[in-house]
Amino acid sequence: MSAPRHVVVHGAALAEDVGRLALRLLDDGDLGVIDGTAGTDVVVVRESESDDRGDSAATADGAVLVCQVEADAVRCRRVVDGEPGEEVPVTVVPASIDVFDRVRGIFETDVLRDRAVAVLGLGSGGSFIVRELAKAGVGRFLLLDHDRLEPGNVSRHECGLNDVGRLKALAVRDLVHRHNPAAEVVTSTLHIDGKTRHEVLALIGKLQADLVVCATDSRESRLLVNRLCVENGLPMVIGGVFQRAYGGIVQRVIPGLTACYQCYVQALPAQAGDTEISSEADAARFSYTDRAVLPQPGLSTDVIPIALHMVKLSLVELLGQESPAFRGLSQDLVAPLYQWVNRREAAHAGLAPMGVSVDELSVLRWYGVLLPRLDDCAGCGKREVTVTDELFPVEPPPQP
Ligand SMILES: [Zn+2]
């Protein structure tokens, strides 16, 4: 086994308020992460050889790496059979490192640092959305999901096998911090239903969320979140995938201005009922007849386009006019509903092949759909909501 060559030490190691000492070596010793207190000796081992991070077990060749964490530096030395060996170069990455210097040409990330997003539902789509928003520089999150990560989720989720068994809310929180270490993250394991709606609203209110992203996996929970946002004037981006993720829709809901998700369900009930069955719980919900329904989740590849569009609409909402790059996009993305088809099947089996035509409806293209607000909508109909120019600063979507 080769000696560790570089250890990257997170700046938190130097903070005095970090109580537990832990260090992992990854990638054949090239990358390590320390969380610890100043003035402490750290014995480093490869993570695969120790269940307990920071344990003092030796590496295969009998060597251990001993590090002295000082107030402003970390020094590491290999020790073989108790004898001090070569010093190992260490790179200290300060906790305050600016990881966003390469995206400043696109938009001012300092704006996003103060923006707060509540993401409800942290499955394959939700976890992707959170990670992308964290990478863009969004600084404050509420992450809500009651589930734990199961082995069956791994092929679709942003978190992998090392997070199986964990609450998705906590695993995705760690995902955020791997990309945006300064982000403030509040987590919740509330199950969204009629009984918890006031608690969910209280969490969103406490965060002072600028945007709600609804990535839950059932129409019932989406309707509930929709109602909650419409009644409280909260902008929302909501999305869903059709069966086996052969396609999906994304909607940006501005209360008082655009159609809401309930309008969509009432206007296009057949499409709104065409939904992916991604888990045993989903299957049980649909098995209301004698005929058993089996889970038929789609591929991650087919969920991601829908999730990515939700990210873009979220950034348009969060950045408003403050980014030249997104100012143009906000003029493009004015449709109240967007539709995407991954494959020609089910209700879209009759589409013409994509070929090279740009005239006909085809797969793998976004289409804006005119969806007016419905007067008899049970969610937003006849509801008085004050609309300000700030909500839709450039151009409102087409109205009936
Ligand atoms: Zn409505």
Tens of pLDDT along 261-275? 999 999 999 888 888
Q: 256 pLDDT exceeds 70?
A: yes
For residue 65, what pLDDT band results from cuts at 50, 70 and 90? Answer: low
Dist. CA 348 → ligand 1 center (Å): 25
Q: 191 pLDDT exceeds 80?
A: yes
Dist. CA 378 → ligand 1 center (Å): 6
Burial class (CB in 10 A: 0-12, 13-18, 19+), 156: buried
Dist. CA 306 → ligand 1 center (Å): 21
Q: How many CB atoms lie within 10 A of CB 351?
A: 16
Dist. CA 245 → ligand 1 center (Å): 25
Dist. CA 374 → ligand 1 center (Å): 6
Dist. CA 51 → ligand 1 center (Å): 52
- Reported as a single tens digit per residue, the pLDDT across 292-304 is 666 677 899 999 9
Dist. CA 257 → ligand 1 center (Å): 10
Dist. CA 34 → ligand 1 center (Å): 50
Write out the H or E segment, with its range, that includes residue 25: strand 22-26
Dist. CA 314 → ligand 1 center (Å): 20
pLDDT of amino acid 175: 94
Neighbours of ion ligand 1 (CB under 5 A): 260, 262-263, 377, 379-380
Dist. CA 265 → ligand 1 center (Å): 9
Write out the H or E segment, with its range, that includes residue 392: none
Shortest CA distance to 306 belongs to which of 206, 188, 156, 185? 156
pLDDT of amino acid 386: 47
- Residue 100 Rama label (left phi>0; alpha psi -120 to 50; beta): alpha
Backbone Cα Rg of the chain: 24
Burial class (CB in 10 A: 0-12, 13-18, 19+), 16: exposed
Can you tell me the distance from the alpha carbon of 268 to that of 252, in angstroms, rounded to the nearest whole number?
Answer: 16
Dist. CA 217 → ligand 1 center (Å): 20
Can you tell me the distance from the alpha carbon of 239 to that of 123, in angstroms, rounded to the nearest whole number?
Answer: 12
Dist. CA 49 → ligand 1 center (Å): 56
CA-to-CA dists, residue 34 to 85, 172, 386, angstroms: 21, 20, 50
Q: 330 pLDDT exceeds 80?
A: yes
pLDDT of amino acid 32: 52
